Chains A and B, each alone.
Chain A
């Protein structure tokens, strides 16, 4: 592991120097570095349990860490293909490339950390380097908010780390968290502060405010990494807390809701709220990237619920959803990045008809959103299905309702960019656009095939997840050939795919037997016999769900609340400051007198 991490850190330096000289070469080097790391990680798959030490940093190879690292590696690797084409748009290309690789190193280190200190150091590496990349985007305020929210999470995690270390006398994750059970109060505090670090990173309500801002304004090539990859760091922190801190025993004095202690249930309810809020806000967005960012909030809710369920089905579903969402969300962000590269905008009201200029990008986006919305035969379906099965089996009716809402609601928001950006009328301004270049296509096609493969052969991943479940003492998910088994029935995704293909072929035959259609232009549509000559006027893209949005347009948002809180905090600071720093000589004399008195009296106290 250390070899991989060290090589990545070295690559960060090399790509910095290389980019200084030749920007494109440096960008290609990031592809190479992430590919190398991915291959290196894959080769480690059988070495579970090895421990390696580097100075104060201790790393341990675990199946879960390997799984997370592979997910992140995929996202970093595929997104890196876009770097060469964006070098001319970056403010500091060399810093971008270096931090791109460095944040990858940080995330891998985090997943393999054996002790809490290593964990925290790697966590900070990843957060800081990604902050510097977000800074190169459209808005400084977004990066600032990203940094502040991340800091809240980091501080909470640091507090948990130190408290756990001090109480138990060890920093080893499994040992320290296991020993905490003897002191339920401290364990509860550690659990919550540690989990808050995770929640801020996943973007769970009410910490979700940074996601749309940071994802929306980050460089187009880094948004997929943020949404598909870095968000999953939070999921890993939540996993550590949920797997190693014995939740049921430390909260044994609390009320239990359906065999879950109330505090854990509240966390799961926060996940459900994130699903609903993320869905509703995504429906409202006009910026395609912000829309996808809010969808990450919603999907983060699924992952959180799945991981906290800690059972056979929903937990496996949550872990698999992590991979599915990473792949689908990266593909969707990359497709939007292509559109942004060619047209210079991500506003849906300014786009339309892109399918006629970039059909492959369209297919990539289509498959990505099918997976994101959880429709078979793509990966997203299997994981959502498992979460649904787990929730309904245990009777979590409200969480299940939120999940259903997020699932059906996702049809609404994923269809919006499909219709407004890719379908509909092509504006004459975009008549001359070209398809994405081969380098971009390669990475998008890889992700698309992965989405499809995960949906048709989910058991490839589920066997790894079963190993993870065994390693933390859960009943592993059952698989049998192509069949995925749960307590409430099984599904054979391969057969579903074949039957779907069968239906498609039957209808294709029907279609081809019938007389051939005549091709007409896009503007030759029914307009109540009115003559319209401007394609933009025939394109419906603004206020898409107006009747539905109207119902919750006036609902309060948490962002103004945070803004108000920060204003108050600033005023408090100014008020305090005014006591100490002032131009007025009387204030100075006052403090001198106070100090003099304190100095005289202090001695006798």
Chain B
């Protein structure tokens, strides 16, 4: 742990933010094209974030601010842990459980801040988001357990490295097809893309946890959302699509995966929260367990 680690970490943070925000902007354009519109400028997302940061703001008490800072801090730390094309700012901190649980610090912080605003809609949104998380995380975790069992390593960088070298056929997505599909479906849940976006539902619960945010807190929540997207897509990319040998390949793969989820989500309706839970516990969880049994008890797939 030297000063260089911290500087690298900061660069990863800035890089992740700039890349993902640009990608979000491009995807807003793609969404518009799907809907036969022209769409905004590709850097619109930056303008939106900086505008929100430039406005005046309100606070509902210290926990409202503290939660927002804790959320963003936790998420920033998680971004620093993510191995990008084999590069890690802090080597050895890329255990998949560490990443997914430091991510939870961010989520808890956001939930705390939202509930601290005293708005019931925020609490409803948080309760929906947590239920949603319970739904998508269990199937994903089962697949991750299977992955660790096969590879005997919990490190995300190692998992990515082990898939490289034999082209597409080395990817866990191909080697464990059922698990791979589960992971991609879970990615939709993680990103809050349709059909699993009922916790944000602007027309229904006034954008849920975001209801009270305005000004700089809203801008911070947008930054948080971009960074969280980066973490989630990177996790799935590293674990199932072989990460990237070089940065360019990594970013191309990343952009394709993210754009894919965005395009698919555009033609989806919205699940109610209990429908989402039932869906995840019936189809993906069944597939994940089947994959696990095939691998562990029958020795298939590796």
Contacts and interface: CB of A to CB of B under 8 A. Distances in A.
A550 interface: yes
A495 interface: yes
Contact of A393 (B73, B152, B158): B152
Contacts of B98: 376, 385, 491, 496
B87 interface: no
Interface stretch (A259-267, A296-304, A417-425): A417-425
Given A401-B141, A418-B115, A499 B81 contact: yes
Contacts of B62: 359
A412 B123 contact: no
B296 A397 contact: yes
A446 interface: no
A510 interface: yes
Contact of B277 (A395, A528, A548): A548
A492 interface: yes
A391 interface: yes
A491 B100 CA distance: 14
A256 interface: no
B185 interface: no
B59 A401 contact: no
A551 B53 contact: no
Given A401-B138, A519-B59, A507 B76 contact: yes
Given A424-B118, A508-B69, A355 B215 contact: no
- The majority secondary structure among interface residues of chain B is helix
A346 B123 CA distance: 20
B169 interface: no
A409 interface: yes
Contact of A425 (B10, B118, B148): B118
A511 interface: yes
A426 to B, nearest CB: 8
A374 B104 CA distance: 9
Interface residues of B, number: 87
B215 A517 contact: yes
Interface string B51-82: 00100111111110100111011111100110
Nearest to B73: A504
Interface in B134-162: 134, 137-138, 141-142, 144-146, 148-149, 152-155, 158
A544 B141 CA distance: 25
Nearest to B56: A515
B119 A526 contact: yes
Interface stretch (B36-44, B89-97, B252-260): B89-97
Interface stretch (B19-27, B125-133, B170-178, B235-243): B125-133
B97 A355 contact: no
Given A393-B152, A411-B108, A518 B118 contact: no
Contacts of A511: 65, 68-69, 216, 220
Given A408-B138, A419-B115, A517-B216, A503 B145 contact: no
Nearest to B57: A517
B228 to A, nearest CB: 13
